């Protein structure tokens, strides 16, 4: 699922997944592991989320986070 979400985001922005992963310090070998269902480590998920401007939840689940960040609510 992570790979599919990452690929969809990259495709929608005209980016190559290999370029994005290497720009974030990830190993190219990880991409094929993710494609086969392996879970990424938290460090690369965080780096990719910042680089792509999406939440880690969105990368991992494909769902947008609807939680409030305002503690008074």
Across the chain, what does the average pLDDT equal? 90
Residue 11 has pLDDT above 90, yes or no: yes
Categorize the per-residue pLDDT at 72 as very low, low, confident or very high, splitting at 50, 70 and 90: very low
CA distances from 7 to 2, 20, 36, 71, 73 (A): 8, 10, 13, 33, 35
Helix (H, G, I), strand (E, B) or coil at 28: helix
Do 22 and 37 meet the contact criterion of CB atoms below 8 Å apart? no
> In whole angstroms, what is the distance from residue 69 CA to residue 73 CA?
8
pLDDT in tens, 14-63: 999 999 999 999 999 999 999 999 999 999 999 999 999 999 999 999 88
């Amino acid at each position: 699922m992570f790979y599919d979400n990452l690929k969809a985001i990259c495709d929608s922005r005209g980016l190559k997944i290999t370029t994005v992963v290497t720009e974030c310090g990830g190993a190219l070998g990880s991409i094929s592991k993710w494609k086969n269902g392996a879970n990424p480590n938290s460090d690369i998920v965080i780096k990719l989320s910042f680089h792509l401007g999406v939440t880690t939840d969105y990368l991992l689940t494909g769902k947008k986070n609807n939680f409030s960040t305002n503690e008074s609510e």
